[in-house]
Amino acid sequence: MPNNYIYDIDGDKEGNVYVGTYQGGISHFRGKEIIDVHHIIDSKAEMYDILVSHDQSLYVSLEKLYKLDLNPRTNKLKEKRIVYNSQVKRMSQIKPNFMSFTNGSSVYIWELGQDSMYLYPTLYSHNNVKAYNILYKNDYELYIGTTNGVYNLLFPINDDLPKTQKVTKRGEDLALKSNIRYVVDKKITKKQYFNLIPIDIFEEDTYKKEIFKDSTSIDYYISDMQKTSDGSIWISTYKNGVYRIKDHKIIKHYTESIKELTSNLCNRLFIDKQDRVWVATMRGISLIDYPRGMIRKITTDDGLVSNHITSIFKHDSLIYVGTSEGLNILDEKSVSSLNSAPPILIEEVKINEKNVPLKGQYKLKHNENSLYFKFNSISYNQKITYKYRIKNLDDKWLYTKDNYIRIPKIPKGKYVFEVKSINKDGLESLEKAQVFLQIKPHILYSFWAYLTYAILLILSVLAFVYFNIKRVRDKEQLNTQMAELEIKALQSQMNPHFVFNSMNAIQAYIFKNETEKASSYLSDFSTLIRSFLELSRKTFISLGQSLEAVQLYIKLEQMRTEDKFDFVLDIAPDVEMDIEIPTIVLQPFVENAIVHGLLNKKEKGILRIILQKKNEYNLIIRIEDNGIGREASKALKQNKQRKHPSRGMQIVEEHLNVLSKNKDYNLQIDIIDNVLDGSGTIVIMNLPID
């Protein structure tokens, strides 16, 4: 306010109040905020201290100490009475009906409402002593911090004079140069804290100095010291803000530079019942609500008559503010900057542009993810802004002046939509309005879908493994089969019948002294054996190789049987010798024709092998003999009870079965009994050409 003399206050219909001042015209206060603010006393004197005693009396120290009577309903001044006719620096309620005060050089005890008061003579006897604060220790004791050290005052008993004891005497040799200003203590603790410049901490009984490392960092002139119930000492300075000290360390320094104080120039501290620290500064009041971690301010915006605050006292909900321009009383309930913004409610929710009933929680499908929220503060005549966030999507708060918000396309997940209102002082609503959201994933991405995928994957892996194992096993089985076939093929070619007959033949040549024939037969025989050994390791060999071996075999049989049969090999010119045929096919049929057909015939027989191409893809091998034929041979076999079992055919059959199964090689064999002259056999093989 430009000036401090108010001659008229008037209110208009809208609740605005116009205050006319003597010199400066009109100040404008907004709305209701001024209603409980009372400009009680107009005084040029600095308001050193304010006290509301236990009996609800209000004492104010100006150029004199006044007791003020207010109308309890309107808080208008009814009456003021002088208690002490001189300036009082500090006041303190000590017992229910006593107060103590000091004018800086003397300390008085006054029983409230009485005419007389006690003066502590010891202090009085020192001329230059200045008292700075008064601390109530118990019902019988006070501490006074003075420029001459700390005094312990005992109450007068039975109208005796009050006794004074200088407590720091014992600690004088501890560099106490009598400049103790403040005694900060609560009776519950053992510790006492005395202020020097810089600060020292002393133990109560021994006055032993305790270590306080940060003491030199508080080198500004100290204006006040107070203690909160957590044991923190709060120190205000005239130039450098407020320090909080705990466990012998500065744990926080409050300054205006980081908006924690209205000003660094601090006059007084007041600790209220909720342990909040009220700081009276040259630019308003700062409220450090450290238990709740909040800082607020009260300035002329809230109706203070001045921002130059010299003292502060709080009683119940009333804040008594001593300013350079008088006393203000504010009800904290009506100071908007002390209150949070009005509560907020969500009014309307739309999903995909359709209104839905209000709920605390929404479970939504993957495509129900475009949301709209409308919210409102309970109507209040001030500008409200909002902050909101979608927790889990983006935890950062976003600000808006609109009372609705549109959120397009939220991905699947769980979120909380939160919104708070903010009043013009930047204070938020205590409660936030919130809606829990769950956007379910698309069915293809749901848990069940993933489970299905997992099962399918496992099944396909299992199937893959199973079929691989089966394949390897089949292959192993095939390899075993092929190995067995090799042995069987060799067995069928080198059958004992042939081997021993050949040896027999050689022996016969030796007996007859036909050495050259023996040698020749032997070397052919060994060549044949060698080729049997070599070729039987292969499943397929060339037609040329096969014919070479079979011709050698025939030659040996002819030699052995002294040309019992003739042999004709008839190869069509277009038959290539590099056509591949199974190793085993030729020799067993030739052997059959010779052994079972031709050798049992009385006359000279003939063996014919005819090769011709049926077409580009088929080779025909005909093995013809004019032997006794299969029927006669079978009968002969039974008669003779021959020991050589005809396993050749059986082995060929097995062999060809395996080839058909494993190599996809299909060979067709027809055996025809020669019907022309009732004897002989024709074997016709139809071999695929690869």
Partner 1 sequence: MEKLLQQHKVYIVDDEQKSREALVHILEKYCPNVQIIGVSSNIDDAFQNININTPDILFLDVEMPNGSGFDLLAKFDKIPFSVVFVTGFDKYAMQAIKFSCLDYILKPISIKDVMEIFEKIDNLPIKKEQKIETLLNNFQANATRHKIGIPVGDGYEFLGIDDIIYLEAEGNYTNLFLNNNKKVLSTRTLGDYETIFENYPFVRIHRKHIINLNYLSKYYRGDGGYVLLYNNIQLDVSRRKKENLLNKINAI
Beta bridge partners of 671: 683
Question: From the list 179, 446, 542, 686, which residue makes contact with partner 1 (rule: CB under 8 A)?
Answer: 542
Taking the C-alpha atoms of residue 132 and residue 145, their distance in angstroms, rounded to an integer, is 6
Residue 522 in the binding site for partner 1 (CB under 8 A): yes
Question: From the list 206, 438, 519, 668, which residue makes contact with partner 1 (rule: CB under 8 A)?
Answer: 519
Burial class (CB in 10 A: 0-12, 13-18, 19+), 327: buried
Residue 690 in the binding site for partner 1 (CB under 8 A): yes
186 contacts: CB under 8 Å, gap ≥ 6: 227, 229
Taking the C-alpha atoms of residue 620 and residue 689, their distance in angstroms, rounded to an integer, is 10
State the nearest-atom distance from the C-beta of 650 to partner 1, in Å.
24
What residues from 613 to 672 belong to the interface with partner 1 (CB under 8 A)? Answer: 663-665
State the nearest-atom distance from the C-beta of 664 to partner 1, in Å.
7
User: DSSP per residue over 460-473, as a string?
Assistant: HHHHHHHHHHHHHH
State the nearest-atom distance from the C-beta of 467 to partner 1, in Å.
18
The conformation of residue 336, written as its DSSP 8-state character, comes to G
Nearest to 135 by CA among 123, 120, 146: 146
Q: Which is nearer to partner 1, 418 or 548 (CB)?
A: 548
Q: Which is nearer to partner 1, 118 or 665 (CB)?
A: 665
Residue 584 in the binding site for partner 1 (CB under 8 A): no
Residue 541 in the binding site for partner 1 (CB under 8 A): yes
Q: Which is nearer to partner 1, 339 or 527 (CB)?
A: 527
Question: From the list 204, 230, 484, 576, which residue makes contact with partner 1 (rule: CB under 8 A)?
Answer: 576
CB 612 within 8 A of CB 689: no
Residue 516 in the binding site for partner 1 (CB under 8 A): yes
Burial class (CB in 10 A: 0-12, 13-18, 19+), 540: middle
State the nearest-atom distance from the C-beta of 505 to partner 1, in Å.
15
State the nearest-atom distance from the C-beta of 568 to partner 1, in Å.
22
CB 401 within 8 A of CB 424: no
Q: Which is nearer to partner 1, 87 or 527 (CB)?
A: 527
Q: Which is nearer to partner 1, 403 or 502 (CB)?
A: 502
Taking the C-alpha atoms of residue 600 and residue 84, their distance in angstroms, rounded to an integer, is 163
Q: Which is nearer to partner 1, 342 or 688 (CB)?
A: 688
Residue 571 in the binding site for partner 1 (CB under 8 A): no
State the nearest-atom distance from the C-beta of 516 to partner 1, in Å.
7
Beta bridge partners of 311: 322
Residue 502 in the binding site for partner 1 (CB under 8 A): no
Structure tokens at 547: 């014919």
Question: From the list 545, 600, 679, 681, which residue makes contact with partner 1 (rule: CB under 8 A)?
Answer: 545
Q: Which amino acid is at 38?
A: H
Q: Which is nearer to partner 1, 377 or 539 (CB)?
A: 539
Burial class (CB in 10 A: 0-12, 13-18, 19+), 139: exposed
Query: Near partner 1 by CB under 8 A, which window of 181-189, 320-328, 535-543, 629-637?
Result: 535-543
Taking the C-alpha atoms of residue 321 and residue 41, their distance in angstroms, rounded to an integer, is 11
Question: From the list 568, 577, 672, 675, which residue makes contact with partner 1 (rule: CB under 8 A)?
Answer: 577
SS3 11: strand
Structure tokens at 416: 């909380």
State the nearest-atom distance from the C-beta of 447 to partner 1, in Å.
41
Query: Near partner 1 by CB under 8 A, which window of 33-41, 317-325, 450-458, 536-544?
Result: 536-544
Cα-to-chain-centroid distance, residue 521: 91
Residue 523 in the binding site for partner 1 (CB under 8 A): yes
Q: Which is nearer to partner 1, 578 or 677 (CB)?
A: 578
Taking the C-alpha atoms of residue 526 and residue 227, their distance in angstroms, rounded to an integer, is 122
Taking the C-alpha atoms of residue 112 and residue 120, their distance in angstroms, rounded to an integer, is 17
Residue 479 in the binding site for partner 1 (CB under 8 A): no
Q: Which is nearer to partner 1, 44 or 530 (CB)?
A: 530
Question: From the list 480, 520, 666, 668, which residue makes contact with partner 1 (rule: CB under 8 A)?
Answer: 520
Structure tokens at 135: 């601390």
CB 613 within 8 A of CB 572: yes
Residue 544 in the binding site for partner 1 (CB under 8 A): yes
Nearest to 385 by CA among 446, 334, 348, 342: 342
Q: Which is nearer to partner 1, 416 or 522 (CB)?
A: 522
Residue 115 in the binding site for partner 1 (CB under 8 A): no
CB 231 within 8 A of CB 275: no
Q: Which is nearer to partner 1, 459 or 577 (CB)?
A: 577
Question: From the list 50, 489, 579, 687, which residue makes contact with partner 1 (rule: CB under 8 A)?
Answer: 579
Question: From the list 578, 603, 616, 677, which residue makes contact with partner 1 (rule: CB under 8 A)?
Answer: 578
Nearest to 97 by CA among 112, 83, 116, 84: 112
Residue 531 in the binding site for partner 1 (CB under 8 A): no
State the nearest-atom distance from the C-beta of 522 to partner 1, in Å.
5
Question: From the list 5, 540, 559, 613, which residue makes contact with partner 1 (rule: CB under 8 A)?
Answer: 540
What Cα–Cα distance (Å) separates residue 540 from each residue in 287, 306, 655, 656, 690?
105, 117, 12, 12, 11
Residue 494 in the binding site for partner 1 (CB under 8 A): no
CB 413 within 8 A of CB 457: no
Residue 527 in the binding site for partner 1 (CB under 8 A): yes
Q: Pairing between strand 183-184 and 191-194? A: antiparallel
Size of the site for partner 1 (CB under 8 A): 25
CB 486 within 8 A of CB 494: no
Residues of this chain that bind partner 1 (CB under 8 A): 516, 519-520, 522-524, 526-527, 530, 533-534, 540-542, 544-545, 576-580, 663-665, 690
